Structure formats: C-alpha cells, structure tokens
Amino acid sequence: MTPDSALVERCHCSPNHGERLAPIDAIVLHYTGMASGEAALALLCDPTAQVSCHYLVWEDGRVWQLASESRRAWHAGKSLWAGESDLNSRSIGIEIVNPGHRDGLPSRPHEIFGGAPPFPEPQIAATIDLCRDIAARLAVRPERILGHSDIAPDRKIDPGEIFPWPRLHEAGIGHWVAPAPIRPGPVYALGAMGPPVAALQAMLAAYGYGVKTNGVYDEATRDVVAAFQRHFRPALVDGIADVSTVETLLALIKNLPPAA
C-alpha cells in the first residue's frame, strides 16, 4: 500500500476493508478505547474482529495508515448522518490512541462515569494536520468532520467530551460555535411531548443527526441530544435540552458554511 498522505510514517495494512459504495465526503474521528495503542492496532488488523480504520494516530503524533483511502474501512458500524446510513462508504476513519472513559462505556450514552484522559499535544497537532490534509485533498466540508458519537449516538461516546473540537476549529478543521452559556430556563427531557419537542428534533435532523421528528422526547432523542452536547456543549452532557443546548444548536445551523 502506498500512503495517501505525506504525513504517514508507516503503512501497517489491515485486511479489514472492502469496496466503497459512495464518494468520500466525511471524516469520522474515534478514540481507540483500549488499554494501549498496540492492543488497538492488533484488534484493527485482526481479520476475525472485522473492524479497521484508515489512520491510527499515536500519542507521540506518529501517523500510521492501515487501509487505503480508496477502500471502505470498517470503523463507523451502524450509523446515520444526514439521512445516510453507510458512513463507512462515505468517510475516512481516524482512530486516535486513547484508553477512553476510565469506567468503560456507560450503560446509556447520555451517562458519563469517568472522563477519558487528555489527548497529548503532539497527538492533537498530528490529528489537525492529518484532517487538514484529507479535507483539502478530498474536499470534505467542515460540518462533515464528525465524532463517532455523532453518527452512532445510541451506542458510542467517542472521541468524548474532552476532545478539543474548538482547537481543531481554530486550525480550520470542523464546524464550531462558542457554546451558549448554561443558565436557567425551559428544558425538555425524557417524556416531554408536543410541538416544541418536534421543533427541536427537526433542528437536530436539519443539522445531520439521525432523529425522528415525532414530537416525543424518547430515549433516542435523549441520546442524540447527549451526543450533540458531547461535541458542541461539553460542559454538561446530560441528554436534557436546556436553553444553552437549543441556542448552541441554532447558532450552528445559522453559521453553516455556504454550499459550494
């Protein structure tokens, strides 16, 4: 395999990939969620595991390529974004070595037990450079640079609320606005019903999240709200749509980059 990016230090080929079924238009960021990078690498290259990614970013900033960008790596799993369910075909998957939330995956994605450790500076710098390179070569729009939790909110929480999305945005990567301040006001939570809930669901869906506009604040809506908070309002991730959550969502929609 020939590296697709000049940033790649080494190619370490995984057998886990297939034919793409759609053009590339997204980048999905993950943390590995395992005890070590070596353990993650072994899993990503294990043919019985049926998981992989295109790039692995080590703590010291080294970038390894595991699958050609032309191939469909198996990193997204069951996912949905902007009405598209095969994110594996449409995206480049980047795994960032980090053990993840220290108490493991919560029983529900809106629950946080123990936060993931910080991502080292060399690793974030390398991730920024890699995303910038991929986005420039493949014309990936800022709002299509996503976290795994954005596209699979019912089962994934990576790269986590500690991931420095604002830092990436300052470097020209991804879509971001300053979160609205948390303050008292109307909230919508599990069990709420009616037109305001439907309006919230419609805004989340308009941004890209996979949520039904049924006017019921069900568990699926709660998980999507938590995923949104984890990415865009990480100070409080509880799956409750408060004033800050709604205002931040509105600001993101209003500040979407113009279509090409």
E-state strands within 32-130: 55-57, 63-65, 71-73, 91-96
Task: Respond yes or no: is residue 95 known to be catalytic.
Answer: yes
Catalytic choice (95, 143, 161, 219) = 95
Q: Does 170 have pLDDT greater than 70? A: yes
Region 46-74: mean pLDDT is 98
Give the residue from 95, 86, 91 showing the smallest Cα distance to 32: 95
Type and span of the H or E element at 199 = helix 195-207
Q: Does 96 have pLDDT greater than 50? A: yes
Place of tokens 């300053």: 178
The encoded tokens of residue 182 equal 């948390």
Q: What is the pLDDT of residues 22-55, one digit of tens each?
A: 999 999 999 999 999 999 999 999 999 999 999 9
SS3 category, 157: coil
Q: Does 107 have pLDDT greater than 50? A: no
Cis bond before residue 159 (omega within 30° of 0)? yes
Q: CA 43, 234, 93, 207 torsion: positive or negative?
A: positive
- Domains of the chain, start order: 10-170 (3.40.80.10), 195-254 (1.10.101.10)
